[in-house]
Chains A and B, each alone.
Chain A
Amino acid sequence: MTMPLLLADADVSRLPLWVILGYLALLLLLGTFSATFFRGTSKDYFVASRSIGPFLLLMSVFGTTMTGFALVGSSAKSFELGIGVYGLMASWSGLIHSAIFFIIGIKLWAIGKRYGYVTQVQFFRDRFDSPVLGWMLFPILVALVIPYLLVGVIAACKTMQPVTAGMFPDLFPMDPLPNGKQHPFHGSVPPWLTALIVCFVVLCYVLFGGVRSAAWANTFQTIVFMITGITAFYLISKALGGPAAASEMVLKESPGNADRSLMGKAYFFSYFVIPLSVGMFPHLFQHWMTAKKAKTFRATVVLHPLFMMLVWVPCVIVGMWAAGLYAAGELRIPPTAAGTPNANAALGAIVRELVQNPLVTGILTAGILAAIMSSLDSQFVCLGTMFTNDVVARVAGKDRFSDKQLIWLARGFVLVIVAVSYVLSLMLLETNVFDLGVWCFTGFGCLFPLVFAALYWKRATRAGAIACVVCTVVTWSLFFWDDIINSGPPVFGQETPAKYLVAGMMPAIFIFAASVISLVGVSLATQPPTASAVAKFFPEKR
């Protein structure tokens, strides 16, 4: 017999929730199973004993790089700006990410293996022989990862609310809207519970297995969200009478979405700075360190652009079709507070109205959660690793702790970070934290010259590196203030629909220029590093 409190609205199926719970259970099972391979050493916890093979590296790096944006954001941006979003984000990323894996990832892996590094800060501190640089970089990297992490937790909450609306009207009631109508999320799984479940599941496997469990889980999650996008595309195109009929409808109803007339050329060009961020992501650095050999990177370098294409092309086309249907008045999309259609709801709306299959809704939601959680787990492990190695072991001395104590220290930090993230995500739930995401990417992308110079420019000096970080932080803060904090009209740029631009370009391009100029200028103006310092990081050509 069912308890009255657990009865769903008559026309609401709970099948999507069961599919999502099934996915989470499988993930938990896989994560727990992978933790049985844990070798009990700190090296295994932080870098999986540098034993990860090509397939796991490919899937874990791809899963970590992709967030929920790959499914929801790609279709949303296509709905808003048209198909140009693929060139803007995915084809730039396909080109640049692989270049970075090739020129930065492999070399950092070699240096990390040779000198035993597990964090970026360790590398930069030694490369420029500067503890000051290490202490400067640590809070900056943490400050840029945390909002990125919160975006994931909040996105999971926002994804679950519409999907589970009406499932638990007695258990999770919501007050009616001011106009007297029922709240659209009445009876849905509340954000506090979604965030709790997501954080708990991720915590369960990363707490015991460390980065190895994150790599296994990411592999599973990547497979799930890749299949999801393609499945959604197939079912939606079938419901629209085939892909050709659907695209013809867009040409008739919303032709601007089939070209780039909604997008500026300078904006399109300047976006190249954003994918450079992968060169400075601390969580990606940690995944690179797990590779067994340099050759392990080969599959990642070659197949990353192909995987991006497989995920993004179907979602961008679906977003374009949603724009056509919306323009034709055949698709209802909930409005934002400003009264414009909520583009982030476009994918969910088209699946709900055209496919009308609770099973598919469940699979799609599981796919979105997979894309979100595949970044979250790596970020949690990474922050735990950084606090353990860059702060505690650094201040107290690594020799003060046994290997076992280091692992428990890292686990303690992971636990604290998950708890803090949980609380912060609930506190910031109703703020526009999504805007912070692109600013995080901007910050990482504009620090890229630092890692490039560290690896390829022998003349780069300690003072140049510090100047680069300071200039990046100062210019980033100015533009960030202008876009996010300044309540008056923008001082440096212009607010255009859905984005803040400076002279028609991403502000990132100006911050990037400041980063390069300060690094090069100050390095050339200061005494070159000694030959022995350079020799440690630049192998002689044989």
Chain B
Amino acid sequence: MNSKTIWVIFVVLCIVHQDVWFWHDRTLVFGFIPVGLAYHAGISLAAVTLWTMAIRWAWPSEVEAWADELDGDTPGSIETAAQGSGASQ
């Protein structure tokens, strides 16, 4: 699994979020939760699963190393880092 798969699942979840099929359904799940609410609680749980998968398979591990290359909070290093930028546009 890679990050593309994660984003495909994310888009699918956004699409199925628009659940027109339960719009007027008043069935009670577990005897007390209207199905329209239970379904969206399910979307929240699916989001938890999706982001668990994301941190497992699509974690941007290079970001941390890149951040640690310079310590921007030490005054000298900001100028050092900025030297590469110059007038930008």
A contact residues vs B (CB 8 Å cutoff): 43, 50, 83-84, 86-87, 90-92, 94-95, 98-99, 102, 106-107, 109-117, 126, 128-129, 237, 242-244, 246-248, 251, 255, 258-261, 265, 268-269, 272, 293-295, 298, 301-303, 305-306, 308-309, 313, 316-317, 320, 461-462, 527-530, 532-533, 535-536, 539, 541-542
Contacts and interface: CB of A to CB of B under 8 A. Distances in A.
B32 A247 contact: yes
Nearest to A116: B72
25 contacts: A87-B37, A91-B44, A95-B14, A99-B10, A102-B51, A110-B63, A110-B67, A114-B70, A128-B88, A247-B34, A251-B26, A251-B28, A255-B26, A260-B24, A294-B64, A294-B67, A301-B51, A305-B48, A462-B89, A529-B88, A532-B85, A536-B82, A539-B63, A541-B62, A542-B62
Contact of A461 (B41, B73, B89): B89
Interface string B46-89: 01100110110001101110111111111001100110111111
A306 B86 contact: no
B44 A258 contact: no
B77 to A, nearest CB: 8
Contacts of B60: 106-107, 294
A98 B62 contact: no
Given A102-B51, A113-B67, A541-B62, A536 B85 contact: yes
Contact of B34 (A110, A113, A258, A295): A258
A539 B61 CA distance: 12
Q: Which 9 interchain pairs have the tightest Cβ spacing?
A: A533-B88, A116-B72, A243-B32, A110-B67, A129-B88, A244-B31, A305-B47, A87-B40, A91-B40
Contacts of B74: 116
B33 A317 contact: yes
A43 to B, nearest CB: 5
A99 B70 CA distance: 27
A94 B17 CA distance: 11
A467 to B, nearest CB: 14
Contacts of B10: 95, 99
B84 A317 contact: no
A467 B70 CA distance: 32
A244 B34 CA distance: 11
Contacts of B66: 110, 114, 539
Task: Say whether chain A's binding surface is mostly helix, strand, loop, or mixed.
Answer: helix
A526 to B, nearest CB: 8
A126 B88 CA distance: 9
A95 B43 contact: yes
B32 to A, nearest CB: 4
Interface in B1-39: 10, 13-14, 17-20, 22-26, 28, 31-34, 36-37, 39
A305 B32 CA distance: 22
Given A265-B20, A293-B64, 16 more contacts: A87-B36, A98-B47, A113-B67, A115-B78, A116-B71, A126-B82, A247-B32, A247-B34, A259-B24, A260-B22, A260-B36, A294-B64, A294-B67, A317-B32, A320-B34, A530-B88
Contacts of B41: 86, 91, 309, 313
B17 A533 contact: no
A113 B81 CA distance: 12
A421 B85 CA distance: 40
A293 B67 CA distance: 9
Nearest to B53: A302
Contacts of B43: 87, 91, 94-95
Given A116-B73, A260-B23, A106 B51 contact: no
Contacts of B24: 259-261
A244 B31 CA distance: 5
A410 to B, nearest CB: 16
Contacts of A293: 64
A533 B69 CA distance: 18
B40 A86 contact: yes
Contacts of B48: 302-303, 305-306
